[in-house]
Amino acid sequence: MSRSLKPHVVDEVSSPNGLIRLPVYFDRTEKDFYVEVTGRDDRVRADSVAEVKKLARELLAKAIEYKWEGIITIEMGESYDAKYKQMGTYNYRGQRFGARVEFEFDRMERSPHPTREGHAVYRKHTLDFEEGKPDAYSRKQREKNADLKQWGCSAEAIVLPYDEETWAGLQAVKRAIDAAQAQLEALIARKDLADRLRLVGKQAPMPILPEAVGATKGRR
């Protein structure tokens, strides 16, 4: 019986989303090429590198399991004082007083990373994906999980489970802040600005957002 020759690595194939890479072997005994998709018992073989990579990519798209969950991410901007008046900060215009309110939020879906423990991958939330009226190509990419992102939000972001009521609450907060911005712009544009400011100074402050109750706590 002739001795089997050790296969050579001749190329590399990646899953459609690039998260998994596998070597392409040339079998010196059988004179063909193969890829072990999930192990020795799950090989695809072909007479050319191009064909075996095509077969491997198709199987990799189906072999990787994702467990998608909807999430909401919230990132807060700094207040004016924190940005410009804390030790070590700098305001190039030299203004002493000001105010700013800024926050960003988004909804998306995440799943554990298939090869990096403790990490996640992200994709557009299904509601937003469907809202964009995706074409056949986009749907195909999504079916193959080829449209993923490996970075969904910063480490400082608050992450909440997605539900419609929570999302509606964030939209309400956004509307309140946008309305306050519009009112401020209208106030500053008035010809009788000084008179209006004197009146504002005599009025009790009106909150534009609900008061926070209890200790603040971020969730991830």
Which are the contacts of 10, defined by CB distance < 8 A and separation ≥ 6?
Answer: 24, 25, 26, 33, 49
Contact 28, 9 (CB under 8 A): no
Q: Looking at residues 190-214, what average pLDDT do you find?
A: 84
Query: For the segment 127-162, what is each residue's pLDDT rounded down to a tens digit?
Result: 999 999 999 999 998 988 888 888 888 888 999 999
Residue 3 has pLDDT above 70, yes or no: no
Q: Where are the domains of the chain?
A: 8-63, 69-202
Contact present, 109 and 126 (Cβ < 8 Å) = yes
* Chain mean pLDDT for the chain: 87
Q: Rounded CA gap, 117 and 175, in Å? A: 39
Percent of the chain with pLDDT over 90: 50
